[in-house]
Structure 1
């Protein structure tokens, strides 16, 4: 059996701030909320379960849609307390307190145990901190090179355990480590993503790709102010691409699962 682990990072749309733009807190939330509404509608229509990594701040301000996602069979996992937090850069006790606080917020909203974590901007704290906070798995490792962000070219592409935490790396192709989640998917096209999927499945039995709900909202208003790669293909364009990709995966027997269900099916986590 081969698996598709699709995840969505529901966060405050604070990316414009990185480029010196002003965007209100209300707009950060409304853009992500609208995108998440579109994503849930798509997933429901295609019969696909996904993992929703959400910040506690977004979840607390948008309780209804988080509860909807949970009721429709999606896993709720933690994307940090706020998206502008750098858990790698802050001291351990601050990281520990924020992760515990965020986890408690999500568990209260979802009425379910939260065991998964993905760090904002993939800047993860030490695994011992995650373990102490009751996290069972992390999916913050992107084993590729993103200039100016990280160089993980020689890190593992496959699931592994370290310090009591299971790591499920975001998918890249073997050898040359081509990424095919979010902006690469949008900018290089469905055919590229399908080819990368097949290459990834040569030596692994799963594909783990992620997107942001805000990508499902047209960002044309930011033309000329954000990089073209951030804007291209957002909105209905990505919606069509994702629908086509999901149908392609399922037509080839690639089974969509939440990450926790995948880990249970593989016998890596028990007792949930």
Structure 2
């Protein structure tokens, strides 16, 4: 099974590179990208999971309505993308449920940062997808964490997928690896683990090559914008051609408990 997920949020990543974007521009870019993603999912009849900050949801309710009406899953990406308090775990879930009228059972921490599993459980989540079980200097050092799902207390931990040799398969890999090689690694991982859990962002569907505006190095901006749209379209075609099933993370976690 392939679990596609998208972290929808205020587009604040340029701040990491010393650049500034107005809040309205952050929301506009992520809203535009979210609609591109939803159009692709509708075209290929694929269901996915959207981890949304409460802040983005408040300011992009039309995106939240599409997620709900088109049968996708809404999960929490906490309240704000660049600041965090423990209370945001519960408050973001409640706000997303209020805005969508649906139950929110999943959580992913922005930038896959560490978060207390005890607090996640107390906030009412049943699964947490906040771990990238690989080594990425300056970001992740999780080589001793299980590659595949496991439980802590009553919360299922669902790490992002990495290859059997822990080569990461997240969004940066999708942009930078030759497409044939990414599909090869994906296929090997599915064969080994029985599923693939990969994540992307709506702002990847914007042309990010303007270094003066965004400040991104080439490995971040490569294959962004229209190239990313075409790449994702082709990836979804490949998924269908391989006869892989796709579904929401919630449906996958429910199947594990049966």
Using structure 2 for the length normalisation, give the TM-score: 0.96
TM-superposition CA deviations, 1:98-128 (whole Å, max 9, x none): 1111111100111111000000111132111
Unaligned runs of 5+ in 1: 87-93
2:107 maps to 117
Using structure 1 for the length normalisation, give the TM-score: 0.91
CA distance in 2, matches of 1:254, 1:13: 31
Measure how far apart 1:163 and its partner are.
1.8
Measure how far apart 1:253 and its partner are.
2.0
2:187 maps to 198
Measure how far apart 1:220 and its partner are.
2.6
CA distance in 1, matches of 2:95, 2:243: 36
RMSD (CA atoms):
1.3
The answer to whether the 8 Å contact 2:209/2:218 transfers is no
1:74 maps to 72
CA distance in 2, matches of 1:69, 1:208: 19
1:31 maps to 29
TM-superposition CA deviations, 1:187-225 (whole Å, max 9, x none): 113212211112212321100000001001111333682
The answer to whether the 8 Å contact 1:185/1:192 transfers is no
TM-superposition CA deviations, 1:74-112 (whole Å, max 9, x none): 1000001100025xxxxxxx41x1111111110011111
CA distance in 2, matches of 1:59, 1:222: 28
The answer to whether the 8 Å contact 2:209/2:216 transfers is no
CA distance in 2, matches of 1:72, 1:181: 25
1:9 maps to 7
The answer to whether the 8 Å contact 2:208/2:216 transfers is no
1:91 maps to none
1:211 maps to 200
1:222 to 191, 211, 216: 211
Structure 1 consecutive aligned stretches of length 4 or more whose deviation exceeds 2 Å: 220-225, 265-268
CA distance in 2, matches of 1:55, 1:245: 26
CA distance in 1, matches of 2:201, 2:172: 10
CA distance in 1, matches of 2:191, 2:45: 26
TM-superposition CA deviations, 1:49-94 (whole Å, max 9, x none): 00000000000111111111111011000001100025xxxxxxx4
Q: Residue 210 of structure 2 aligns to a residue in which SS?
A: helix
2:38 to 27, 37, 40: 40
Unaligned runs of 5+ in 2: none
2:149 to 159, 162, 170: 159
2:55 maps to 57
The answer to whether the 8 Å contact 2:206/2:224 transfers is yes
CA distance in 1, matches of 2:25, 2:9: 12
Q: How does 1:215-254 map to 2 (within 5 A)?
A: 215-222=204-211, 225-254=215-244
CA distance in 2, matches of 1:31, 1:236: 14
